[in-house]
Structure 1
Amino acid sequence: MVLSLVWDLYQQWKTQEPQTEVIFFHDEVVIRCDNHSPTNKCTNKDCYFYKIGRIISCIENAQHTIDLCLYMLTVPSLSDALVRARKRGIKMRIISDHSKAYSRESKIIDLLKIGADVRTRPTEMIMHHKFCIFDYNTPNQYLLTGSLNWTQTSVCGGSLDNVIITQDQTLIEPFQSEFNKLWINFSENQKYRKCRDFKSLD
């Protein structure tokens, strides 16, 4: 009886209309809404705090896993959200560009130190993906992707970019498949160096 109920709920979840949101970062991204305050979350979609806040909320809403594939991470607010997620037990796998992940400004080092699994691979090709899958294969699963680099330059108006947040299974599946393929290709031999190698960066 219980198993039948769970199966029915699962089937309802799979047939639900997927939720999708598109966010644009533009040359006015640094403009902050007059109504924004630390105690009142901004709902103005043109406000910087709303845009960056939507990415942070995706991280904060994760319940089980985060698979992150990105070129570079230097935004403190996004890094801090990932650190909080890892500290509350979220399993985290990160694939990043080899040269950028090792850079002094990289925030990936902070995540490595608290148990995130990080892989890079030395290659002439740039690892230029920017996508993140949250809670894959659960009712809470969703995908965040788009052109936005997770860097200060990008989020503070240095480029025209977009972010797509979706629960569409037909999009989540190929991104998860690509992540899994890259995770294998960036084999154990190419895992991020141990934390002791970064003492000089503290």
Structure 2
Amino acid sequence: MTEQQYKELLIKTAKMSDYEHKEKVVEALRVASISFQKEFAFTHHLPDHRQEHIIISVIPEKLAILKEHENFVDDLCEQAYEPNDYNEYSGLILKPGILHVAPEEISQEIFFDNIQNQIIGEIQKAKFSIWIAMAWFTNKEIFDELLKKRNEGLDIKIIIDNNRVNQEKPLFTLENHFEVYRVDVQSKRYKNIMHRKFCVIDLETAMHGTFNWTSAANYNKENWDVDHNREIAKIFAEEFVKMRRDAELSMLI
């Protein structure tokens, strides 16, 4: 296992844990460098195995975080250590170092069940902005999570289709709390639908799929993708900005 592969495994293991402060540790590990330090001393645990320490070097402000949670990080290092015939994990060494910028971690998750909770989970992780384009939005649980984020000071913008369901069904009025654009899609002969269903969080995560933000959607056969990828988030953000601009222009006509 290479040092970069070991670092990626540490981060994945941390993410899967139930440790309360795992997000802080993951953020610090992402900008850290990892190295293996093989020792001449034997371990006295396994026959003919020499000691090997894991050195994690990171900028001082992140080093303080890792030291605060050193027992958790040490446990991660031991879990991720690859068994071999020559060395044995013998401990963690934390050192100050320079900022290490690794290639962007890209992950995609596709869900067919429990979609509402997945959406709420991503909303809860938002730090700066949430931009939503949704054909139908009547789900009170998702609305409540967005309201919490607005009260934390996040920038929340919503584009929805101007249809009867969005006007009459909700137990809330979006405009009372958020920046909202209700759009009409009109062809020459028919009123059509703004049928998009996506959400951009912090310009880093894009969620999209067939799942409307309604309670009824929980009982349908739906799918939902979560892309932790800046490039994909950028594409959806650009489309959102275009939709918002078109909505503003239509209000002036």
TM-score, scaled to structure 2: 0.54
Q: Note the alpha carbon deviations across 1:109-167, whole angstroms, 9 max, x for none.
A: 1x3212x111122332201100000011xxxx211111111111111x1x211111111
Aligned match of 2:216 = 153
Aligned match of 1:17 = 105
The 3-state SS of whatever aligns with 1:183 is helix
Counterparts of residues 31-110 of structure 1 (less than 5 Å)? 48=114, 51-100=115-164, 102-106=166-170, 109=173
**Number of residue pairs matched?**
151
Aligned match of 1:121 = 183
- What is the CA-CA distance between 1:55 and the residue it aligns to? 1.0
Query: Structure 1: where are the runs of 5+ without partners?
Result: 26-47, 192-202
Cα root mean square deviation, aligned = 2.4
In the alignment, the residues of structure 1 paired with residue 230 and residue 123 of structure 2 have an alpha-carbon distance, to the nearest angstrom, of 19
In the alignment, the residues of structure 1 paired with residue 249 and residue 236 of structure 2 have an alpha-carbon distance, to the nearest angstrom, of 21
Tell me, yes or no, if structure 1 residue 178 matches structure 2 residue 178.
Answer: no
TM-score, scaled to structure 1: 0.67
Q: Which amino acid aligns with 1:55?
A: I
Higher strand share: 2
1:86/1:100 Cα in 2 relative to 1: closer, same or farther (>3 Å)?
A: farther
Aligned match of 2:188 = none
Aligned match of 2:66 = none
Contact 1:67–1:132 under 8 Å retained in 2: yes
Aligned match of 1:133 = 200
Q: Note the alpha carbon deviations across 1:77-116, whole angstroms, 9 max, x for none.
A: 111111111111111111000114752223561x3212x1
In the alignment, the residues of structure 2 paired with residue 188 and residue 91 of structure 1 have an alpha-carbon distance, to the nearest angstrom, of 21
The 3-state SS of whatever aligns with 1:164 is strand
Q: Which amino acid aligns with 1:149?
A: N
In the alignment, the residues of structure 2 paired with residue 19 and residue 67 of structure 1 have an alpha-carbon distance, to the nearest angstrom, of 20
In the alignment, the residues of structure 2 paired with residue 119 and residue 108 of structure 1 have an alpha-carbon distance, to the nearest angstrom, of 15
In the alignment, the residues of structure 1 paired with residue 240 and residue 171 of structure 2 have an alpha-carbon distance, to the nearest angstrom, of 20
Query: Structure 2: where are the runs of 5+ without partners?
Result: 1-58, 60-97, 186-190
Q: Of the candidates 124, 144, 149, which is equivalent to residue 207 of structure 2?
A: 144
The 3-state SS of whatever aligns with 2:163 is helix
- What is the CA-CA distance between 1:17 and the residue it aligns to? 2.6
1:145/1:118 Cα in 2 relative to 1: closer, same or farther (>3 Å)?
A: same
The 3-state SS of whatever aligns with 1:186 is helix
Aligned match of 1:37 = none
Structure showing greater radius of gyration is: 2
Q: Which amino acid aligns with 2:139?
A: V
More deviation in 64-73 or 182-191? 182-191
More relative contact order, 1 or 2 (CA 8 Å, 6+ apart): 1
In the alignment, the residues of structure 2 paired with residue 189 and residue 179 of structure 1 have an alpha-carbon distance, to the nearest angstrom, of 15
Q: Which amino acid aligns with 1:12?
A: V
